[in-house]
Amino acid sequence: MIWQNWGRTESASPASVLTPVSEDGVAAAIETARETGTTVKAVGAGHSFSGIAVPGETMLDLTNMRGLVRIDDLDATFRAGTHLYEIPAWLEPHGLAMANLGDIDRQTLAGATSTGTHGTGVTFGGISTQITRLRLVTGRCEEREITDPTELQAAALGLGALGIVTEITVRCVPAFSIEASEQPAKVGDVLGRLREEIETNDHFEFYWFPHTEAALTKRNKRLSGLVEPSGPSKFRRYVDDELLSNKLFGGLCRVSARFPNAVPTINKVSGNALSGRTFVDASAAVFASERKVRFREMEYAVPLEKLGEAFDGVRKLIADKGYRVSFPIEVRAAAADDLMLSTASGRTSGYVAVHRYFRDEPDDYFRDVEEVMMNLGGRPHWGKMHTRDADYLREVYPRFDEFCAVRDRLDPDRIFRNPYLDRVLGDDR
Ligand SMILES: Cc1cc2nc3c(=O)[nH]c(=O)nc-3n(C[C@H](O)[C@H](O)[C@H](O)COP(=O)(O)OP(=O)(O)OC[C@H]3O[C@@H](n4cnc5c(N)ncnc54)[C@H](O)[C@@H]3O)c2cc1C
């Protein structure tokens, strides 16, 4: 076994691992695969929980294709293997920042955008919506710049199915700070004002601790420009996060995995220990935090107006079925966008994410959550665990067949296929 993902849900032993340094090197790998009738898969940081990144015969590691290519006004072009955590240092001298980010920054730019990685904020789309152009090598071995708007609506969130992406241009914004406010609350109160919270805050999200009334709310306010950091320092926040969110929480998860019946009590103690904090820092430092406790995750997007129903459905099934869930449930929102396979394609969306500590005994929790989400027209995150196939996905994505048509043009011989893509896009050739 050569490759495994962060969540330890997938692993693979590809026959060869290549680390190209240039687009021509990528093209050469694809040419060889064409000649030998084999497949090629680029992997990013392995942070997808689904099998989307699982390589077959040839695995491409783009570690040697990282860094800034050029800045053109607000547009910054990066090589596709650049990690999100590397980007702020490249943008800082130009007074720029990425408009929005997810919870962590360990992913590669190509990996994050290929699966529709998103943060929260009802007027902000996922990271793929920031893409203005990209370069890729198609399954026909063509080295192409994608600028055509319709083709870009497929390729900016391409599931790794259209080509090996070599460069990505993102539209940045002038660097800005965020005033972050994290506050404990009662989950009933949060739900009562959920729509208002989502609509009046730039970025709102909350975590609910199952088996308790405890929630942690996070409100991020965008400030105009960069201002002096204030509140607990980055170091202090790191220590708090390290001790509470990583070390202590990790210990509690280990105990919970061994003694599931103790979970409600443990969650009550965790919920009671929540405390508030407010601080100001540069945007990237606020958006991303470290996750050291290993978990598995499923996340579904539903139309925003159904978010409360989706959350209540999960809460009810935990109670009804007696599941013991140690991990908080995360609720977020995002703007509608025009990308063919974005979870927010054509609809303003609310997100419910459920997690399991990676050592928890497997049970039907995720399957039951999926049932709730399917009844609400839910769309699964492409990089997180789900069981949906092409028949279901075609129903919930109006532009599904348009995407498949772009795939037929760019990868007619299915050089980039793997079992996950066969399932979600249809094993048609
Ligand atoms: C701890 C943790 C926190 C997370 N938080 C969030 C979050 O806040 N929001 C969210 O939406 N998601 C989140 N995710 C999910 C994660 O962002 C996505 O799964 C993302 O795709 C991972 O990026 P990666 O670089 O690890 O890509 P990988 O998982 O390695 O690959 C993902 C896909 O990208 C393709 N790919 C990679 N490079 C290329 C390339 N050069 N050309 C073509 N295709 C390519 C792969 O083939 C694969 O299909 C989280 C995951 C973890 C483990």
**pLDDT tens sequence across 263-279:** 888 888 888 878 889 99
- What's the Rg (C-alpha) of the chain? 21
pLDDT tens digits, residue range 127-171? Answer: 999 999 999 999 999 999 998 999 999 999 999 999 999 999 999
Q: With bands split at pLDDT 50, 70 and 90, how would you rate the model's confidence at 360?
A: confident
Q: Does residue 238 carry a pLDDT above 80? A: no
Tell how far the Cα of 157 is from the centroid of ligand 1, in angstroms. 11
Q: Which pLDDT score, from 0 to 100, does residue 243 have?
A: 61
Q: How far apart are CA 231 and CA 222, in angstroms?
A: 16
Q: With bands split at pLDDT 50, 70 and 90, how would you rate the model's confidence at 379?
A: very high
Q: Which pLDDT score, from 0 to 100, does residue 319 have?
A: 95
Choosing from 18, 22, 98, 107 the residue with most ligand 1 atoms within 8 A of its CB, the one to mutate for a pocket test is 107
Q: Does residue 428 carry a pLDDT above 90? A: no
Ligand 1 atom 37: residue of nearest CA: 111
Tell how far the Cα of 116 is from the centroid of ligand 1, in angstroms. 8
Q: What is the mean pLDDT of the chain?
A: 95
**Torsion angle, CA of 225/230/234/238, rounded to 10 degrees?**
-130
Ligand 1 atom 48: residue of nearest CA: 53
Tell how far the Cα of 106 is from the centroid of ligand 1, in angstroms. 9
Q: Which pLDDT score, from 0 to 100, does residue 179 have?
A: 98
Ligand 1 atom 10: residue of nearest CA: 117
Give percent of the chain above pLDDT 70.
98
Q: Which pLDDT score, from 0 to 100, does residue 291 have?
A: 85
Residue 110, burial from CB neighbour count under 10 angstroms (0-12, 13-18, 19+): buried
**Average pLDDT value for residue range 243-254:** 75
Q: With bands split at pLDDT 50, 70 and 90, how would you rate the model's confidence at 244?
A: low
β-pairing verdict for 349-357 and 329-334: antiparallel
Choosing from 114, 130, 164, 246 the residue with most ligand 1 atoms within 8 A of its CB, the one to mutate for a pocket test is 114
Read off the pTM: 0.95
CB-based contact 256:204 (threshold 8 Å):
no
**Three-state SS at 279:** strand
Name residues contacting ligand 1 (CB within 6 A): 6-7, 41-48, 52-53, 62, 80, 102-104, 107-108, 110-112, 114-115, 117-118, 159-160, 164-165, 291, 381, 383
Q: With bands split at pLDDT 50, 70 and 90, how would you rate the model's confidence at 253?
A: confident
All domains in the chain, ordered by first residue = 3-174+392-425 (3.30.465.10), 177-380 (3.40.462.10)
Q: With bands split at pLDDT 50, 70 and 90, how would you rate the model's confidence at 239?
A: low
Give, as one character, the DSSP assignment of residue 337.
B
**Amino acid, res. 320:** D
DSSP string, 46-100: S--SSGGG--SSEEEEGGGS-SEEEEETTEEEEETT-BGGGHHHHHGGGTEE-S-
Give percent of the chain above pLDDT 90.
85
Q: Does residue 242 carry a pLDDT above 70? A: no
Q: How far apart are CA 302 and CA 373, in angstroms?
A: 7
Q: Does residue 356 carry a pLDDT above 80? A: yes
**Average pLDDT value for residue range 37-62:** 98
Q: With bands split at pLDDT 50, 70 and 90, how would you rate the model's confidence at 36?
A: very high
**Amino acid, res. 26:** V
**Which residues lie closer than 8 Å to 206 by C-beta, 6 or more apart?**
185, 187, 190, 197, 215, 216, 217, 218, 330, 331
More confident residue, 326 or 395: 395
